[in-house]
Structure 1
């Protein structure tokens, strides 16, 4: 039996950021991660490009992670445009209307993971249990206890679950979640192209598919294609030349011929929202609390925001010699993070339904919605501020 103040299950971005947020607090931390140590230290590319808001960049700076990124891996996101069907009309966010040089920054997910690992490596008071899985969870008013796959048991005053949107620890804590399996898959693939994207991201809801282009440095973009799972299997299996031609065709050649520079990665689309973000001596952060659809590019930012909220409350309690897992503290965290995430999560669900349903009433409604939003500066300004989050 080993005693800690906090056990974090999940060494992904949210879990590592939370551990780093508690650096210098005097708390003893354990991070349990199923991946081996070498996979944490040098993650392989997973194809995902993260659109970081200004607030998220500031958070990574405070965690000593931002400076560890290679500037060549950071691409400016200057504006975003939304298209529907064959219409040339586009709803634009950012650019001159934002009053800022950019909406945010695009950074490869695996680079952020590596930077966060480097930030926590050797951190005083932190023990990393890599290559271990949690086999049992128990909590009561006095402590939380987890059993590991190697036979060890750990106890702590607070257990923090950050082990994916289909979290095993969340289930073991008895916390239910709204799980929306959308029956679609997302393929991400880096491509080079002839045209200049100008730092503008596009989201195009066309008939039968959704395709987005995230602008990277140079004449390169991350193509993000969403299709029913069965159709996606066929496309992802294409040879590079044929895959490039398929992406070019689906994007109607707007950036010229596209050529893949990396193998595609495919992910099933699942949205989740936990019924509660806290339980007795336990809290949920990251995708374990809120698993967003990528259409709003906000899931990662919510993960950083949530861990920062919880870490601030825990640090304040520790500094005052109070219980770091007091029911009132955990309720404050839950209320704060729910207010920050629920509106956009609900709006995203409606957006996904509106722009993926091919029945005529929905096709008419989505075009009308884009046109209406374009004539409502307050709506566009609100969305832009949300995307930027200074």
Structure 2
């Protein structure tokens, strides 16, 4: 039996960043992860580009992770544009409205994962009490007023003051604690990949609500080999259509994506592997239980349309870590009911409104009826004229 202060289940970016933050208070941390240790150190490209707000970047700097990402891999997100159907009109959200030189930054998910792991390894080398138990699976969790116990598939048992689930929006650990979650399956899947294209993107992100499809364009820095304009392309369709698209050979795929983007970007060329993800949003009924908390996607699994998923994860980590640091400094219980209730209250207030708004946006903006398309066009044109509204959106995107 091994004792530690905190057990974190899941060594993805959220779990690693939480371990990083908590270790700075002198607590001992054990990270339990199903993947092999080499997969944590060199995570594979998974297609996803993460839009980081200014606040998230500032926190990653505090954790010593931001500087571990190559500068060329950080793409400036200057502006955002929202399109409807085949109309060339778009609502433009400019960075100037946010008060920053850019709305935020785009970074590949696997690079964030690697940087977060390297930052934890640096802390470990410097003497931080962080242990990573890779290739391990949690089989049971139980907690009471005295402490928490985590049983592993290997037969080992961990005891701790607090257990945190950071093991994805479909968290098995959350279910072990009997916490139900509100799950919304949008009945669609998204295909993500990196492509080069003829026309410049001007570092503007596109969200394009088309007929029977939703497209997104996330601006990346120029292709390092050819110098061509490069973007992350996201196509959202029904699962069957996505599978057909994914099965096309590279040339046919290029031509099909050009057609779907109505050749607004000119010729397009696939520059990466393709990855498909089902669209399911998740919001647990509770974020906490006795000596137990959820973090990252295990707390809030967002639809990607508003680009707040990982940003909400980092915000929750900062809130939880701050509360624990305060308790630690005061000599109080780091997993008291009052502390966890404070975390739940603050994180729910920070996330629930936008979670519901995102559900509304995806329902209204993806309907294909003629009245819905007309209403969308009207809303975008009205929104384009309302500078205060656009300022609110820009401020939200910047964090």
Give the TM-score band, short-chain normalised. over 0.9
Unpaired runs of at least 5, structure 1: none
Decide which of 171, 178, 184 is 1:174's aligned counterpart.
178
Decide which of 215, 219, 235 is 1:215's aligned counterpart.
219
Aligned to 2:225: none
2:266 is paired with a residue of what secondary structure? coil
Decide which of 259, 275, 290 is 2:285's aligned counterpart.
275
Structure-2 separation of matches of 1:3 and 1:148: 14
Write out aligned runs for 1:116-135 (5 A). 116-121=116-121, 123=124, 124-135=128-139
Q: Give 1:142 shift.
A: 1.0
Write out aligned runs for 1:237-316 (5 A). 237-316=247-326
Q: Give 1:375 shift.
A: 2.5
Q: Give 1:359 shift.
A: 2.3
Instruction: Kindly provide the CA deviation profile for residues 148-200 of structure 1, in whole angstroms up to 9, marking residues without a partner as x.
Output: 01110101100100101011111111111100111100111100111111101
2:317 is paired with a residue of what secondary structure? helix
Write out aligned runs for 1:147-226 (5 A). 147-218=151-222, 219-226=229-236
| Residue 91, structure 1, aligned to residue 91, structure 2 | yes
Structure-2 separation of matches of 1:236 and 1:143: 48
Structure-2 separation of matches of 1:61 and 1:155: 32
Structure-1 separation of matches of 2:183 and 2:284: 8
- The range that moved more, 115-124 or 101-110, is 115-124
Structure-2 separation of matches of 1:99 and 1:141: 47
Cα RMSD of the aligned pairs, angstroms, is 1.0
Structure-1 separation of matches of 2:140 and 2:247: 39
Aligned to 2:101: 101
Aligned to 1:2: 2
TM-score w.r.t. length of structure 1: 0.98
| Residue 76, structure 1, aligned to residue 76, structure 2 | yes
Q: Give 1:327 shift.
A: 0.6
Instruction: Kindly provide the CA deviation profile for residues 229-263 of structure 1, in whole angstroms up to 9, marking residues without a partner as x.
Output: 11100001111111111111101111110000112
Structure-1 separation of matches of 2:103 and 2:187: 31
1:356 is paired with a residue of what secondary structure? coil
Structure-1 separation of matches of 2:264 and 2:192: 18
Aligned to 2:226: none
2:23·2:29 contact (CA, 8 Å) conserved in 1? no
Query: Hey, which bits of structure 1, 4+ residues long, moved more than 3 A?
Result: 95-99
Aligned to 1:21: 21
2:141·2:151 contact (CA, 8 Å) conserved in 1? yes
Aligned to 2:368: 358
Unpaired runs of at least 5, structure 2: 223-228
Aligned to 1:330: 340
TM-score w.r.t. length of structure 2: 0.96
2:76·2:102 contact (CA, 8 Å) conserved in 1? yes
2:95·2:394 contact (CA, 8 Å) conserved in 1? no
1:291 is paired with a residue of what secondary structure? coil
Aligned to 1:67: 67
- The range that moved more, 16-25 or 359-368, is 359-368
Aligned to 1:378: 388
Instruction: Kindly provide the CA deviation profile for residues 201-256 of structure 1, in whole angstroms up to 9, marking residues without a partner as x.
Output: 11110101011111000200001000001110000111111111111110111111
Q: Give 1:300 shift.
A: 0.7
Structure-2 separation of matches of 1:73 and 1:383: 25
Aligned to 2:54: 54
Aligned to 1:137: 141
Structure-1 separation of matches of 2:98 and 2:343: 31
2:96·2:102 contact (CA, 8 Å) conserved in 1? no
Instruction: Kindly provide the CA deviation profile for residues 311-356 of structure 1, in whole angstroms up to 9, marking residues without a partner as x.
Output: 0111111111100011110011001101110111000000000111
Q: Give 1:281 shift.
A: 0.4
Instruction: Kindly provide the CA deviation profile for residues 106-155 of structure 1, in whole angstroms up to 9, marking residues without a partner as x.
Output: 10100010000001115211111101010011111111111101110101
2:35 is paired with a residue of what secondary structure? coil
